[in-house]
Structure formats: structure tokens, C-alpha cells
Amino acid sequence: MKSYKTNEIKNIALLGSKGSGKTTLAESMLYECGVIKRRGTIEAGNTVCDYFPVEKEYGYSVFSTVFYAEFLNKKLNVIDCPGSEDFVGNAYTALGVTDTGVIVVDSQYGVEVGTQNIFRTTATLKKPVIFALNQLDGEKADYENVMEQMRETFGPKVIAIQYPLESGPGFHSMIDVLLMKKYEWGPEGGVPTITEIPDDQMKKAKELHNALVEAAAENDETLMDKYFEQGKLTEDEMRAGIRKGLVDRSIFPVFCVSAQKDMGVRRMMEFLGNVCPFVNDMPDAETTQCEVVKADSNGPVSLFVFKTSVEPHIGEVSYFRVMSGTLKAGADLENISRGSKERFAQIFSVCGQIRTAVDTLEAGDIGAAVKLKDVRTGNTINEKGCEYEFDFIKYPAPKYQRAIRPVNESDAEKLSAILTRMHEEDPTWIVEQSKELKQTIVKGQGEFHLRTLKWRIENNEKLQIEYLEPKIPYRETITKASRADYRHKKQSGGSGQFGEVHLIVEPYTEGMPEPDTYRFNNQEYKMSVRDKQEIPLEWGGKLVVYNCIVGGSIDARFIPAIVKGLMDRMEQGPLTGSYARDVRVMIYDGKMHPVDSNEISFRLAGRNAFSEAFKNANPKILEPIYDVEVLTPADSMGDVMSDLQSRRAIIMGMNSENGIEKLNAKVPLKEMSSYSTSLSSITGGRSSFTMNFSSYELVPGDVQEKLLKAYEETQSEE
Ligand SMILES: Nc1nc2c(ncn2[C@@H]2O[C@H](COP(=O)(O)OP(=O)(O)OP(=O)(O)O)[C@@H](O)[C@H]2O)c(=O)[nH]1
Ligand SMILES: [Mg+2]
């Protein structure tokens, strides 16, 4: 295979909502440049990009797949990304290492939630975007409708490069207003017949052509002047203008294709090869130290590993982008992120699982190596002496979680090591050892994302695991003041134990006045504060302790032991064993014994007095509430709404834009446990949501009853 120079390489991500046709488009691209002789289909499970058994089983993409297409003496490196919300992490990664995003839109559904989400991500990352209107041959395809929707959603920068003469099952020809030609295909697609534009289309074609020329000239004053002087631009000037517009995101060109019938694919590839930005048209990369690194093949060798995976029949494969320098097969490099040495005995350009060994890969190129020793996703690997380190990929926050445990308890340690590795393979799988919940929690993007983790562990690591409902991190607090005292006394043989503590507890709120006088059972308790301790709690909220001892009834040296006793109970709340928060305690009296008083006695007295006071202070359980934002097509709005209401949600607002509804609600975490699965089934996978912690709120009375009962049962079992 030819060695490609930096200025012959283009890196492209295939993006778009689930099922829009990215993998099918990839198949046609690979066919068009001769990598495959026959096009596979999703239905037959024989495409180049969906080669993992799990993808064949689900019938859609789960992993991003790298392939290259040698076309017009250029190398197009393409990453086919999964469209499913569950696997959206892959699209973020792919956008990180590519320069242009091709957003595939199913012309039968138009702009979907997934289309908008990914477009927003490209905006954040400032990446050029090209739209491919796919499935124009589909039953319900309606070109004009979709174009109108696209302009409404993404603005007037959406510019047609082509339009079909007929969309729907009769789609077989289109007018290209950049080249000003008519393209026509036979029923099998493939090589088009290119002819002059028929008279009846000339007017429309010219109008669209002029709109395109103006959009191209707009980004460059010289071009603009030329256009006004001569009324037209040469082909090269058009290309330069559009390329600049792409980089500035002031043009979003729209192409017409049927990926399945291989119509329009070749023409779009020509545009990718001729017009879309080269590596060096894009802004330079930056290291973690904010050092600017040019994609220069003469620079020091530096690779960024954006994906590692264990693949059928080969084992570990590491995918990287050459950030700088020229990587040669046989190179000895250093993994700067892990401090280890790596030999790149062989390097490859890949098409799914087809690998072609190459001698060199220059700056900007994307390639792979197999069986490296110690390489993880996100690592930077450099030639000796080079200090670059990259970390430019942003991952989405998790929104689905499960507790995980091995079926066989003795595998716990092994599982923990495997999970660490899994996170290094896919950073959107997040693992947390929760001391509070006494569970290992794994988080991800959705049920299928975690199901894939299970599949991965069970098939590749041969370890059986199970998922459980994660416990909810409840909190406990009190709602009124209360008083208690407790005497701890033990006499056994020689020295005994003695400590007595009297205290008052009260709900704590920020900025409340200092304690003064309290009344319980018609008796007045006047506090005189000697000392105050504010303890911020790791789990949120505060414990504030006042030493109000008068007349030396308890020595100051015992106060820390009493506070320890209080903390024992804050860590394991008196109601359900959950963390307690926002309480203040006034220790105002007690007793000592000249011989038997010691720290442990006061710790126990403090703990028990606090427990009793807490239980009488009208204690309540708090639950975590999340801010949830749902994006859904208008036609499923009613169902989404009633589903949310069945989850004790409080609807905070609704907003409708371009046929997509946005819904904001506050929902208890307890009720969000299987939300991603339900939402996906209610809307056929055409919606998305995000959730962020908002606050702790009191649980309703009936829920509290249930929780108390459940806790009592676990206590009596023990
Ligand atoms: N009629 C028609 N069907 C298509 C076309 N492109 C794809 N399909 C079908 O649409 C379905 C989804 O295609 P995929 O290629 O898997 O779509 P995708 O975008 O890769 O899907 P995800 O990977 O799940 O995001 C398959 O059944 C394809 O056969 C097209 O141009 N015309
Ligand atoms: Mg796919």
C-alpha cells in the first residue's frame, strides 16, 4: 500500500441517529474504492463495520469502526460510529480524532433527536459538518420536507449540493448544482450516467447554484470581489471557498444518497476527497500543557491512542492517530502516560477487521497496532525525548447504573481488576466502589451499554457476573428540636466504665441564630456556648456541635470522644443506617466518675444520647432528586409525559422547537433506575435524555414507611 503524506489524508466521522444508514453507507464507500467486491448488508450480518458478534446479534452498531478508502490518490480515514444513545461515547471519541463529521440523516424521518444531539457536539468541538440525506429511496422519503426542516433547525447555512428529481421508491436521479450535471442510475446503482441538466430543471438548478456560489464566496473577500466582477467562480475557487466555509462552519453542504442502492455515494466521496478539509486545514492540536503541536511529518513521533479493543481472532488492537512525526514499522517508543516501553513491530491501516501492514504512517494518519504490552485508551506514545501528552476527548456523563457482582463470590478481586481494565478500554464505563452503599456500581449510557459490558466480561474474560438494582443513597435528618440523656455504666471486675451525656439536637440550616433557650416538657434549658465546631460532611450537609457545658460537669478533654460518638451515628443514621446530615447538637450537661470515666464511655454515651434525641426529633428520610431533560419527537410526547408522571416527576417546563419537544423535570433517583430502557421503548429509540444531581428532598410519608420497615427487617435478620 502506498504511503500517504499528511496533505493527502482526510479524517472523517460517520455520525447520525440510530439506523440512519451509516454502516450501510460505509459498505458502499468500501465497495466504491474497491476494498470489497460485494456489498454486505445489516440484515445478512456481513458488513465490514459491524463485525462483532454482539453487533450481529443486536442488528446495529455497538462499536465505532475504523476504515480507510483510497480514493483520488487520497486516503480517507473514516470512522463509522454507532448512532444508538447507549453507545454515544464512541461518537465523541471519533469526533476527537477526525476533522470532518458526515451526519447521515434518514430522509424518511428527517431531523431526529439523535441528529440534533450530534450536531450540537460538532458545534462544541468546532468540527466541519456535511449532511448526507440517506434512504432517499425509502417509502416515506420526502426531500423537500427534510430540507425545510434542516434549514429550520440548523439555519440558512444548510446548502444543497444536490437535489433528487424524485424522492421515495422512484429515486434514481438527481441534479448536482456544484458540477451542474444530472446524475442517473440503473436499478443496481453504482456507476452513474452523467448528462447535461434538462431544460425544465435549469431554472431551479441555476438558483441553487448561485446560492452555493454566494455561500462559497462569502468566506473570502477576494472571492467575493471576483464573483461580483465576473458573475461566476472557477471550479478551484469554488472548492477553496467551500473548504474555508466548512472549516468556519459557515456552510453545511447537503448530499443526496441511497446507501443501500449505492446511489450518490461515489459523488459524495469525490467531494470528501477534493473539497473537505485536509488535516492541515484544521487548527493544530494542543497538549495537556497547552503546547501547540502541528501535524508535521518531520516532527517528533507522537501517537494518541483513541481506542483499544479485544477483537475476535486477534486479541488486543490499539487504534491511534499520529499527532506528529512519521511512525515507522519496528519503532521503539515510550508510553508517556504509563511510563512503559513499546515496540511497534508492525503497523496497519485497517478496514474493520481487515488489516493491511504498512511501512509508515505520517502525521495526521490513523492506524492500528496489535498486541502492544501495556496500552490503554487515552494514552500518548512518543519517541524518546518527546514529552507531548494529549487528552482532548470529552466523554458524556453517565445516565444508567447498576450494582455488579460476580456470580461466584470468590471472583470479587478478579472482577475488580477486569473492571479497571474495561474502563480503560471504554472510558464511558465508569466503576465506583461505594463504601456507602456497600456495592460496586458500574455506570454507563444505557441498559445496552452495560449489557455489552456484561457480554464482554463473560465472553472474553470468562467470568460470570450479575447486575443488581443499585441501592439509593438516602439521607436522614430531623425536623424539630429534641432532648435526651444517656448514662453509660459498666462495672466488671477492676476498673469500670462511666460516662453520662445530656444533649439537645435541632435541625441545622445555614445562617441560623446561635442556640439560646429551649423548652421541653415545660422545663427551660438555657444554653451558654463555650465552644463551637462545624463539621462539613463528606456526603453533603453539616454537623455542628456546641459545647455548652457549665460548672465542669464533663471535662473538655472528653468532648472529642462525644463528638466521635455523634459522628458514629451521623455515618449510620438512626432510622435506616443511611448518612445523616444537617443537624446541630448542644452538649449541655453530664456526669463524670473520678476513676471510671474514659473516652470510650463518653463516645458510647454520646452516640446513644444522640440516637434517642434524633428519633424523637421527628426524623425524616431524604432522597436524591435529579434534574432530567428529555428530548423527544412531538408524537411521543404524551407517552413520555405520562411515563414521567408515574415516576413521581415534577414537570418544570416544556418547550417545542422544530418538531422536537424538550421536557424538564425533577425526578427522584429511585424512579430513574430503568428510565433509559423505558424511554427508548416508548419512543422507539428516537429520544434522548440527560440527568444531573439537583438536591436532597424529603421522601413522601408512604415511601418513608416502606423504607423504615425494610430496614427493620434487615436488622432483625442480622
Ligand atoms: N431503503 C434504504 N434502506 C437503507 C438505506 N441505508 C440503510 N438502510 C437500512 O436501514 C437500516 C439501518 O442501516 P444501518 O446501516 O445499520 O444504519 P446505522 O446508521 O449504521 O445504524 P446504527 O449503527 O445503529 O446507528 C438497515 O436495515 C439498512 O438496510 C438506504 O439508503 N435505503
Ligand atoms: Mg451502524
User: What CA–CA distance (Å, rounded) separates 57 from 557?
Assistant: 67
What average pLDDT score do residues 371-376 get? Answer: 92
Question: In terms of Cα–Cα distance, which of 395, 376, 354, 396 is closest to 303?
Answer: 376
Encode pLDDT of 312-335 as tens digits. Answer: 788 899 999 999 999 999 999 999
List phi, psi (to 5°) of 486.
-150, 135
Say if CB 651 and CB 637 are below 8 A apart.
no
**Atom 23 of ligand 1, residue of closest alpha carbon:** 61
At residue 228, the pLDDT reads 84
Asked if residue 235 and residue 196 are part of one domain, the reply reads: yes
**Atom 8 of ligand 1, residue of closest alpha carbon:** 21
Query: Can you give the CATH number for the domain in which 632 is found?
Result: 3.30.70.240
C-alpha 571 chain-centroid distance: 32
At residue 54, the pLDDT reads 86
Ligand number, closest to the Cα atom of 139: 1
Range of the domain at 428: 400-468
Asked if residue 611 and residue 515 are part of one domain, the reply reads: yes
At residue 435, the pLDDT reads 86
Q: How far is CA 407 from CA 454, 462, 464, in A?
A: 12, 12, 6
User: What CA–CA distance (Å, rounded) separates 639 from 654?
Assistant: 14
Query: Can you give the CATH number for the domain in which 338 is found?
Result: 2.40.30.10
pTM of the entire predicted model: 0.87
Percent of the chain exceeding pLDDT 70 equals: 100
Asked if residue 296 and residue 160 are part of one domain, the reply reads: no
Q: Which of 415, 446, 468 is the last residue of a domain?
A: 468
Query: Residue 608 corresponds to which amino acid?
Result: N
User: Which residue out of 67, 260, 448, 680 has the highest number of ligand 1 atoms within 8 Å of its CB and is therefore the one to mutate?
Assistant: 260
Asked if residue 459 and residue 528 are part of one domain, the reply reads: no
Encode pLDDT of 350-364 as tens digits. Answer: 999 999 999 999 999
Question: In terms of Cα–Cα distance, which of 76, 550, 616 is closest to 351?
Answer: 76
For residue 105, the CA-to-ligand 1 centroid distance in Å is 10
User: What CA–CA distance (Å, rounded) separates 641 from 667?
Assistant: 12
Which residues, including other chains, have CB under 8 Å from residue 701's CB and lie 6 or more apart? none
For residue 57, the CA-to-ligand 2 centroid distance in Å is 13
> At residue 684, does pLDDT exceed 80?
yes
For residue 108, the CA-to-ligand 2 centroid distance in Å is 17
What average pLDDT score do residues 225-253 get? Answer: 91
**Atom 30 of ligand 1, residue of closest alpha carbon:** 135
Question: In terms of Cα–Cα distance, which of 689, 665, 639, 678 is closest to 445?
Answer: 689
Tell me which DSSP letter residue 565 carries. Answer: H
Query: Can you give the CATH number for the domain in which 450 is found?
Result: 3.30.70.870
Record the cell numbers describing residue 268, joined without a space: 459524495
User: What CA–CA distance (Å, rounded) separates 100 from 245?
Assistant: 12
Asked if residue 205 and residue 88 are part of one domain, the reply reads: yes
User: What CA–CA distance (Å, rounded) separates 684 from 678?
Assistant: 10
Is 525 domain-assigned?
Answer: yes
Is 224 domain-assigned?
Answer: yes
Record the cell numbers describing residue 73, joined without a space: 490518490
What average pLDDT score do residues 393-407 get? Answer: 92
User: What CA–CA distance (Å, rounded) separates 34 from 26?
Assistant: 12
Is 78 domain-assigned?
Answer: yes
**Atom 1 of ligand 1, residue of closest alpha carbon:** 138
Specify the number of domains making up the chain. 5
At residue 521, the pLDDT reads 93
User: Which residue out of 20, 23, 24 has the highest number of ligand 1 atoms within 8 Å of its CB and is therefore the one to mutate?
Assistant: 24
Question: In terms of Cα–Cα distance, which of 366, 308, 364 is closest to 338?
Answer: 308
Q: Is the CB of 110 under 6 A from ligand 1?
A: no
Q: How many CA atoms lie within 13 A of 363 on its CB side?
A: 21
Is 683 domain-assigned?
Answer: yes
> At residue 1, does pLDDT exceed 90?
no
Asked if residue 633 and residue 593 are part of one domain, the reply reads: no
> At residue 185, does pLDDT exceed 90?
yes
Asked if residue 218 and residue 148 are part of one domain, the reply reads: yes
User: What CA–CA distance (Å, rounded) separates 682 from 206?
Assistant: 45
Question: In terms of Cα–Cα distance, which of 319, 325, 404 is closest to 353?
Answer: 319
At residue 717, the pLDDT reads 60
Number of residues in the chain = 718
Encode pLDDT of 62-74 as tens digits. Answer: 999 999 999 999 9
User: What CA–CA distance (Å, rounded) separates 115 from 370?
Assistant: 34
Q: Which of 253, 281, 309 is the last residue of a domain?
A: 281
User: What CA–CA distance (Å, rounded) separates 92 from 82?
Assistant: 11
Say if CB 293 and CB 324 are below 8 A apart.
yes
User: What CA–CA distance (Å, rounded) separates 25 from 28?
Assistant: 5
Q: What is the DSSP string of 356-390?
A: EEESEEETT-EEEEES-SS--TT-EEE-TT-----
Ligand number, closest to the Cα atom of 49: 2
User: What CA–CA distance (Å, rounded) separates 42 from 57?
Assistant: 11
Query: Can you tell me which atom of ligand 1 is nearest the CA of 104?
Result: 19
Q: Is the CB of 106 under 6 A from ligand 1?
A: no
Is 246 domain-assigned?
Answer: yes
> At residue 718, does pLDDT exceed 70?
no
Is 200 domain-assigned?
Answer: yes
Query: Can you tell me which atom of ligand 1 is nearest the CA of 20?
Result: 19
What residues does the ion ligand 2 have nearby, CB within 5 Å?
Answer: 22-23, 61
Record the cell numbers describing residue 72, joined without a space: 483520488
Asked if residue 634 and residue 608 are part of one domain, the reply reads: no
Query: Can you give the CATH number for the domain in which 182 is found?
Result: 3.40.50.300
Is 439 domain-assigned?
Answer: yes
> At residue 460, does pLDDT exceed 90?
no
Asked if residue 177 and residue 59 are part of one domain, the reply reads: yes
At residue 53, the pLDDT reads 87
Asked if residue 635 and residue 595 are part of one domain, the reply reads: no
What average pLDDT score do residues 632-646 get? Answer: 93
What is the average pLDDT value for the chain, to the nearest integer?
A: 94
Q: Mapping DSSP to helix (H, G, I), strand (E, B) and coil, where does residue 304 land?
A: strand
Q: Which of 428, 445, 468 is the last residue of a domain?
A: 468
Q: Is the CB of 282 under 6 A from ligand 1?
A: no
Record the cell numbers describing residue 554, joined without a space: 464533663
Record the cell numbers describing residue 351, joined without a space: 478496514
What average pLDDT score do residues 86-108 get? Answer: 95
Say if CB 115 and CB 105 are below 8 A apart.
yes
At residue 409, the pLDDT reads 94
For residue 602, the CA-to-ligand 1 centroid distance in Å is 70
Q: Is the CB of 162 under 6 A from ligand 1?
A: no
Record the cell numbers describing residue 85, joined without a space: 444513545
Cα Rg, the chain, nearest whole Å: 32
User: What CA–CA distance (Å, rounded) separates 520 from 426?
Assistant: 58
Other CB atoms within 10 Å distance of the CB of residue 78 = 29
Q: If you search the block for the grid coordinates 466582477, which residue do you land on?
A: 229
Asked if residue 602 and residue 643 are part of one domain, the reply reads: no
Encode pLDDT of 582-628 as tens digits. Answer: 999 999 999 999 889 899 999 999 999 999 999 999 999 999 999 99
Is 716 domain-assigned?
Answer: no
Encode pLDDT of 262-314 as tens digits. Answer: 999 999 999 999 999 999 999 999 999 999 999 999 999 999 999 999 887 88
Asked if residue 163 and residue 14 are part of one domain, the reply reads: yes
Other CB atoms within 10 Å distance of the CB of residue 360 = 16
At residue 235, the pLDDT reads 85
What average pLDDT score do residues 659-683 get? Answer: 92
Q: Is the CB of 23 under 6 A from ligand 1?
A: yes
User: What CA–CA distance (Å, rounded) separates 302 from 151?
Assistant: 41
User: What CA–CA distance (Å, rounded) separates 284 from 282?
Assistant: 6
